[in-house]
Structure 1
Amino acid sequence: MSLRRRQFLQLALGTGLSAAGLDISRAAGRAASRGDLRIGLISDLNSSYGSTAYIPQVSQGLQQLLALKPALLVCAGDMVAGQKRDLTSNQLDAMWESFARTVLTPVRRAGLPFLPAIGNHDGSPGFEADRAALRRFWTPRRQALGLTFEDAGDFPFHYSVLQNDVFWLVWDASSSRIPPAQIQWARRQLGSAAARRAQIRMVVGHLPLFGVSQGRDRPGERLEQRAAILALLAEGNVQAYISGHQHAWYPAKLGPLDLIQLGALGSGPRRLLQGKISPQQTFTTLDIDWQRSWLRETTYAAATGQAVNWERLPAQLNGQAGQLQRNVQRRWIRSQRSLKGQP
């Protein structure tokens, strides 16, 4: 049996939290053991259309996440509450300024780089006023985000970053279809010298590949070109596709690919398609140990700061696009070093 297959079997059989009949782990409030790199993940921060205010859980969860001292904060979209035709330019700019005060400024003051992806409420195709406001806000701030860009030609819609030995590809998944030119761009980026230098590769976009929450498992709420995108991610040796939009956290595994569907930190958390976990605002961390080649995913309830019990998640979800299997919490990473057969 090959080493990689033996490691996979050991991980599949031997990891995970103990089953407990609670919605939160018994290690309430404690951060997961960290490796060499901790990454913070948030998504779906906005409130109702046009709102310039955020619910208290956004700031509460953000402060809890900052206290865990990640090296980078990734947002998978829906930072403001656009996608409404009658919003004026002044209203759109006011929403973005509120986002700056509530989220971006505290993150940057803490010294964290901030990596944003565009959601449907930030700048969906066809909403040209939204997209113009988005450019007005982000373009002058690009150099102040603390990111090491590899390709920033169409920032903030799609771009790539090499940060902390992780290659990040961010694309415009603010609608259900990735433009063909952007698919080709992604293929070139994942095959680039920068991607090859990285230990692992991550792709971030707002819409997911599968529906996981009630009311969102339907066409238009997930990416259409699933087979082509999965082939692209496999070809590019991508560790994980990180997405939002579903307003419910579910960590899945599809072949070698991690599918990290983030919950909402803002308004409107949803129930999963199956299971009994109540809707709640959440944020997530990824801890990576390079030497031992593992990654650990932990999600926290913003209301309490306590880790969500992994074993309370359904072992699988059955949706319109097929069945998803729950991932293991700590898993082997597809490092470029291991793929090359190096020790």
Structure 2
Amino acid sequence: MLQLVIGTGLTAAALPLSAARRVVQRVGLISDLNSSYGSIRYIPAVDQGLDQLIGLQPDLVVCAGDMVAGQMRGLSGQQLDAMWRGFETSVLQRLQAANIPLLPAIGNHDGSLGFPADRAAVRRFWTPIRSRMGLAFVDASQFPFRYSVLQDGIFWLVWDASSARVPEDQLLWAQQQLASTEAQKARARFVVGHLPLAGVGLGKDRPGEVLERGRALEALMDAAGVQAYISGHHHTWFSSRRGQLDLIQLGALGSGPRRLLHGEAPAQQTFTLLEIDGGRGTLRETTYAVFPGRPLSWSTLPLRLNTRAGLLQRNASERLLRG
């Protein structure tokens, strides 16, 4: 019988999966899996981190981008396709074997706006397998660059934040999607994109590394009752709140983890688990260090980060759902 681990440790007590799902919905969050430019392989931390995450038996895994190592001039179509085949073998098939759907966002190394060959490779890989992703699409017309999903009562909107500016047509689309009946009747709403709204990684708090018009994007999401914006790109985990909007900025599972702008926490590979309790109306966020495979203490995060986009206050590990 399948079991779901309940608790914060990787060796915590387990409940039967059917019973546990009535208690809490688990969502794994990963980002920045790639290795060096053009690589078709992944470092051991990716393999080990996936093992640990799969062991927690999430209902869904969200990837905030940089699944492959593109964004390099001169890579041929064959090389780009080989990278995506490597991702399929090393990541996607492992999740599918565990019956865990993957909800991907496109990162700058996957399909940046200035790299048409990379974006063509994204379409070649993802379009044929869209119907096999195990996702309950609301709008899949531009999958995987932008799309929406209603999965187990949670509304997910993914936009193309592979570069610093989310196009105007996408903002209009996002407003319409978040105002839809499916979104407004959902237990919670989440938006996912690669680039963050604020710079948290050492050396990354600069133009081009964060989304432009951040305050306007925040206002759009806040007005629609979005619970959280989930992003990657800065290779370090920080969880904050601006107004009623959670900002969950994910660490790297792959190469090149970074330190935060401030604080003493070391650079390390991480993944994050959200536990969404619809009955209690709460969300719990736990981030795991791949080495040694244990949850990070929330106190390892500084109380605040002073960024170019303003002051970020550390969030609480458990908070109320906006509903």
Q: Same fold (TM over 0.5)?
A: yes
Q: SS at 1:284's partner residue?
A: strand
What is the match of residue 206 of structure 2?
218
Match of 1:134 among 104, 122, 125: 122
Over 3 Å counting, the alpha-carbon distance change for 1:266 and 1:245 in structure 2 is same
User: Where in structure 2 are the equivalents of 1:142-161 lying within 5 Å?
Assistant: 142-161=130-149
1:28 is displaced (CA, Å) by: 5.6
Identity over aligned pairs, percent:
60
Q: State the alpha-carbon separation in 2 of the partners of residues 46 and 290 from structure 1.
A: 34
Aligned-partner residue type, residue 138 of structure 1: W
CA RMSD of aligned residues (A): 1.3
1:53 paired with 2:20, answer: no
1:197 is displaced (CA, Å) by: 2.0
1:113 paired with 2:90, answer: no
In structure 1, runs of 5+ residues without a counterpart are 1-26, 336-343
The answer on whether the counterparts of 2:10 and 2:56 sit within 8 Å (CA) in structure 1 is no
1:69 is displaced (CA, Å) by: 0.5
Q: State the alpha-carbon separation in 2 of the partners of residues 197 and 150 from structure 1.
A: 13
Q: State the alpha-carbon separation in 1 of the partners of residues 152 and 272 from structure 2.
A: 18
1:32 is displaced (CA, Å) by: 10
Over 3 Å counting, the alpha-carbon distance change for 1:243 and 1:32 in structure 2 is farther
Match of 1:316 among 304, 313, 316: 304
Return structure 1 stretches of 4+ with deviation > 2 angstroms: 27-35
Aligned-partner residue type, residue 319 of structure 1: T
The answer on whether the counterparts of 1:208 and 1:223 sit within 8 Å (CA) in structure 2 is yes
1:256 paired with 2:266, answer: no
What is the match of residue 257 of structure 2?
269
Q: TM-score, normalised by structure 2?
A: 0.94
Q: SS at 1:153's partner residue?
A: strand
Aligned-partner residue type, residue 192 of structure 2: V
What is the match of residue 284 of structure 2?
296
Match of 2:181 among 193, 196, 208: 193
In structure 2, runs of 5+ residues without a counterpart are 1-7, 15-19
Match of 1:232 among 220, 232, 248: 220
Deviation track 1:1-25 (CA, whole Å, cap 9, x = no partner) reads xxxxxxxxxxxxxxxxxxxxxxxxx
Aligned-partner residue type, residue 276 of structure 2: I
1:98 paired with 2:94, answer: no
The answer on whether the counterparts of 1:247 and 1:269 sit within 8 Å (CA) in structure 2 is yes
What is the match of residue 163 of structure 1?
151
Q: State the alpha-carbon separation in 2 of the partners of residues 322 and 138 from structure 1.
A: 37
Q: SS at 1:242's partner residue?
A: strand
Q: State the alpha-carbon separation in 2 of the partners of residues 317 and 38 from structure 1.
A: 28
What is the match of residue 229 of structure 2?
241
Q: State the alpha-carbon separation in 1 of the partners of residues 286 and 150 from structure 2.
A: 23
The answer on whether the counterparts of 1:31 and 1:68 sit within 8 Å (CA) in structure 2 is no
Deviation track 1:190-221 (CA, whole Å, cap 9, x = no partner) reads 00011022110000000000000101100000
Q: State the alpha-carbon separation in 2 of the partners of residues 108 and 220 from structure 1.
A: 34
Q: State the alpha-carbon separation in 2 of the partners of residues 304 and 63 from structure 1.
A: 13
1:317 is displaced (CA, Å) by: 0.5
Q: SS at 2:89's partner residue?
A: helix
Aligned-partner residue type, residue 44 of structure 2: P
> More relative contact order in 1 or in 2 (CA 8 Å, sep 6+)?
1
Q: State the alpha-carbon separation in 1 of the partners of residues 247 and 239 from structure 2.
A: 6
Aligned residue pairs, count: 309
1:29 is displaced (CA, Å) by: 4.0
1:38 paired with 2:26, answer: yes
Q: State the alpha-carbon separation in 2 of the partners of residues 50 and 326 from structure 1.
A: 36
1:122 paired with 2:117, answer: no
Comparing 27-36 and 303-312, the one that deviates more = 27-36
Q: State the alpha-carbon separation in 2 of the partners of residues 195 and 105 from structure 1.
A: 29
1:63 paired with 2:72, answer: no
Q: State the alpha-carbon separation in 2 of the partners of residues 220 and 135 from structure 1.
A: 24
What is the match of residue 4 of structure 2?
none
Q: State the alpha-carbon separation in 1 of the partners of residues 58 and 232 from structure 2.
A: 19
Q: SS at 1:275's partner residue?
A: coil
The answer on whether the counterparts of 2:10 and 2:55 sit within 8 Å (CA) in structure 1 is no
Q: State the alpha-carbon separation in 1 of the partners of residues 280 and 87 from structure 2.
A: 38
What is the match of residue 4 of structure 1?
none
Q: State the alpha-carbon separation in 2 of the partners of residues 32 and 99 from structure 1.
A: 32
The answer on whether the counterparts of 1:30 and 1:306 sit within 8 Å (CA) in structure 2 is no
Q: State the alpha-carbon separation in 1 of the partners of residues 308 and 181 from structure 2.
A: 38
